[in-house]
Amino acid sequence: MGQQVLDRLGLLAPLSAVSRPVSRIHLRNAAGRELLDFGYDAVPGATAALGVHRGALFSLLYDAVRAREVRIELGVPVIGVRPTSRGLTVETAAGDHSAYDLVVGCDGSRSRIRRSMNVTVRDRAYEYGALWAIVEDSAEVGVGAGAPGELYQCLRGTRDYLGVLPTGQGRSSIFWSVRQPDMAGVVANGLEAWRAAARPLAGRFEPLLDGVQELLEATYRDVVVRTPYRLEGAGAAVLVGDAAHAMSPQLGTGTSLALADAWTLHHALATEPSLERALASYAARRARHVRWYQWWTRLMMPVFQSELTPLAWPRDLLAPAVMSVPGMTVQMVHTLCGDRTSPWSVWRLPELG
């Protein structure tokens, strides 16, 4: 889905040049039992995912904005918005910045814009997050042709798992599941202690562990809003991406959902006759799509990252059998492509005409 948006913006080709196709998903447990192993080619015509560093995607979008001569002000710490007679005033640590017809809040899962809009229904931190690092994964470090093109994950119960994801040309991200309260302790124990715990799960990617120089913390939230926008007098605010619907990255669709939000908001503003109707159209168009992925994420989290260790036994026993049911692999690929609203329906980008 994200690739479709970038293609319409004329940015897919340069993104692909700094990305690596991820064509397979491979999941096993620590005992070596294969739980999932399938490719995007299970669906004829399906487009493989792109593994890319977030900084590369940001730079691409940032350069495109600058090329369009959009005014950018950096170093302005926004703390919220409030309605005034002039429109919606942006509040900063140094005082009011200015008033606008529309403020778009794209400030992530801990959004201060969302908090000031008073539209939050749920904002809960997940107990589990991840420690991660980006490493070189060329043939010189011993991985060779094994790393490109595959998302690899190995599970031990529901508390531990190691993942390896291609992240651009010659680089991969390594992520290690850990409870948020335990992250500081794992880091303090040092890299050698972490490597000793991770090696039994790394399989053929074990050489990559020696390339880890620092473990960074990633924490996740489950966010639901009553509505992603609010009209107040002469101004309005609207939320995009994690600010509107943060969720665990289990399905890897966060960036695609955010890009779909941005494109849909753009379409609504360009085609509706008023700001009020544009924001209502944006909210209505995005609701089913976002809800489907929120539902699936909540369903998967206890099975992959939780203290409910007994869930690992039926998971490991049933996963291969479930995936052997005709049509299940196709459904899984469709879900990972990021365009589902149900098992039978697809969400499509609106056309500008």
Q: What is the pLDDT of residue 309?
A: 92
Check whether domain 128-218 has CATH 3.40.630.10, yes or no: no
Q: Three-class SS of residue 234?
A: coil
pTM: 0.93
Number of H helices, E strands in the chain: 12, 19
Q: What is the pLDDT of residue 140?
A: 41
Enumerate residues 6+ apart whose C-beta is below 8 A from 123. 221, 222, 223, 224
Element (H, E) at 196: helix 191-202
With a cut of 50, which residues of the chain have pLDDT below it? 139-148
Q: Which CATH architecture has domain 2-21+42-124+222-305+313-346?
A: 3-Layer(bba) Sandwich (3.50)
Structural domain boundaries in the chain: 2-21+42-124+222-305+313-346, 128-218
Token pair 């049933």: residue: 318
Determine the Cα–Cα distance for residues 125 and 334; give it in Å rounded to an integer: 28
| Cα angle: 222, vertex 227, 229; to 5 degrees | 115
Q: What is the pLDDT of residue 143?
A: 47
Contact yes or no for 130/117 (Cβ under 8 A): no
The CB-side HSE value for 201 (13 A sphere, CA atoms) comes to 26
Q: What is the pLDDT of residue 353?
A: 66
